Chains A and B, each alone.
Chain A
């Protein structure tokens, strides 16, 4: 896969109320961003189990983005604030065992930030392209 035409596969977990709407806005505004991303809509960033993230990496995804409402704007009042604690620990734990910090990223995107979403996606794609395909947690098919 490490030929020059390798393109990263990226999964974005987006919360239904802000980030998914932000991605929608980027779409209807016809903003350009890389086609590498597969979006998975979740009810809230608090719904993300860290297991989802490592499972994505295990199944050959090169980068994971998790995004929710900005702190204070959560549709469920505090889902993203509780999630923030989880993500902070998860990011540190993954970095600790030697996974590249760019591999798993977290961000906040509101429903009105189509521009931010497109720019963020391009940044994540660039980051992942720089560090190359994920190899560390990938499950090899026997």
Chain B
């Protein structure tokens, strides 16, 4: 991963000069262990060397950077749209493809650096391993070992493979394809997509499913973090905040919250790339993965469509086929 980090810095430096980018989006070391945070580099007069050296690539670069892009390209006749370089994992790339397709991001203004993804570590899993003991330092080895220092001064060696995020374990497309630059390296083997987990939930009795949905959604405090973290949720005016027609209340009334999530999930139909940004952003630990994945699976099963690969194809929800299934129609 260190070699990847070096390569990213090299390429970032190069494209600041050769491709005339105005911004570079990557990650820098976070202020606490086990966290990397999004990092924006802006080119002023000369190449920002000092800032480029702060770019990192490690097992904690899980944020989906695509979420920041649409804001840069909001229509403003006084401004020229910037050119942006960005380092992307498989899921980020799919999000960007979806944004290009929805005309939120112009392809010609983006310089993509693909990074083969080895999966990102789930901070909560590592923390759970130490049962509340504070972690004060972490270090990774190229062999896939995570060295952790805890507050009592002890060192621990963890296998990174055992602490990966669920989304990364299930990930079907860890490799980036069609980027402008590609960092050398091997991505992890594709996962199974996690459809089996959805099927297993489906097989439970309805009352049990309802209880689970109710229990999870009742944790929600309506902070909208799931929506803000999602690259696909770029509407300037969200249905949840419309006031001309007040569709749902803004408070944590359980019914309002349920409807917010149902419609939020529904709006992901044919667009969600399963990056799990919503799940990671949730401060209350609502199991959003269980519900958002359902719409991904249904779109795949009913319309044979997996989003985030082509900017040319028609979105499944704005087209139809004559032979689409009618089996849910009620007959008298």
Contacts and interface: CB of A to CB of B under 8 A. Distances in A.
A71 interface: yes
Interface stretch (B34-42, B81-89, B202-210): B202-210
B162 interface: no
Contacts of B192: none
Nearest to B325: A88
Given A81-B320, A85-B317, A140-B255, A93 B326 contact: no
Contact of A97 (B239, B262, B318, B328): B262
Given A82-B319, A98-B209, A55 B265 contact: no
A123 interface: yes
Interface string A70-96: 011000001001101111111111111
Contacts of B247: 51, 55
A81 B76 CA distance: 37
Contact of A116 (B295, B303, B328, B332): B332
Interface residues of B, number: 45
B194 interface: no
A85 B332 contact: no
Nearest to A79: B320
Most buried by B among A91, A92, A95, A107: A92
Given A92-B294, A97-B262, A139-B256, A81 B329 contact: no
Given A88-B324, A105-B330, A123-B330, A100 B206 contact: yes
Chain A interface: which size bin?
Answer: 35 or more
Interface string B290-332: 0100110011001100000000000011111010111011111
Contacts of A86: 317
Contacts of A88: 298, 302, 324-325, 328
Interface in B83-125: none
Interface of A: 50-51, 54-55, 58, 65, 71-72, 78, 81-82, 84-100, 105-108, 116, 119-120, 122-124, 136-140
